[in-house]
Amino acid sequence: MIRKELVFVDEEVDSQSEAIEKLVHQAVQLQVIEDEESFLKAIYHREEEFSTAVGFGVAIPHGMSDTVREAFVGFMKPKHTILWGNEQKEVDLLFMIGVPESRKNVIHLKLISQISKNLMKQEFREKLLACKNNDEAFQYLEKINEDIAKELN
């Protein structure tokens, strides 16, 4: 679910929209999303309903859309803290989830659950914040991939 090509550490982004658009654009390049504009609409619609900043400096933007070919999780640790949502919460860790509309009931909540379960642990967040590069972060995030695989089987 978490793909190495969707892991960004110390990414130069200055805003919530820039971070979201960077991850979505990369997902389109990897062909896990067919239509960038449609998926962005799904993400922003969800953000309008309720901010996905969940506390602890973490945001989990997510969208369900028929334009998603394959469920995915992207990760970003911006180089600098970005402000998120109308509340302008400080965010240092960002997980993006994309799920095909047809599989939303099967996958969506399980992905959020596994990510949230790990993010509740201060040690997990601290290790992610300490990652120096994409490879290091991806290796650490492999634990979530393993947990997701167990949950879905």
Side chain identity at residue 22, one-letter code: K
Tell me what the mean pLDDT of segment 66-80 comes to: 95
pLDDT at 69 over 80: yes
| Whether 52 contacts 96, CB under 8 Å | no
| Tokens matching residue 112 | 């959020």
Q: Is 68 helix (H, G, I), strand (E, B) or coil?
A: strand
Q: Please state, in angstroms and rounded to a whole number, the distance separating the CA atoms of residues 87 and 134.
A: 29
The residue ranking higher by pLDDT, 30 or 144, is: 30
Q: How many domains does the chain have?
A: 1
pLDDT of residue 103: 62
pLDDT of residue 153: 66
Side chain identity at residue 147, one-letter code: D
pLDDT at 150 over 80: no
Residue 105: which pLDDT band, with cuts at 50, 70 and 90?
A: low
For residue 81, is it left (φ>0), alpha (ψ between -120 and 50) or beta?
A: beta
Tell me what the mean pLDDT of segment 48-65 comes to: 93
Tell me what the mean pLDDT of segment 46-53 comes to: 92
Mean per-residue pLDDT of the chain: 91
Tell me what the mean pLDDT of segment 35-55 comes to: 94
Angle subtended at Cα 21 by Cα 42 and Cα 81, rounded to the nearest 5 degrees:
115
Could you report the per-residue pLDDT of 123-133, keeping only the tens digit for each?
A: 999 999 999 99
The fraction of the chain above a pLDDT of 90, given in percent, is 72
Query: What residue ranges in the chain does DSSP mark as E strands?
Result: 2-11, 53-55, 58-59, 62-65, 72-78, 82-84, 89-91, 93-100
pLDDT of residue 112: 79
Contacts (Cβ under 8 Å, ≥6 apart) of 153: none
Q: Which CATH number belongs to the domain containing residue 109 in this structure?
A: 3.40.930.10
The β-bridge partners of 7 are 75
| Structural domain boundaries, residue 119 | 2-152
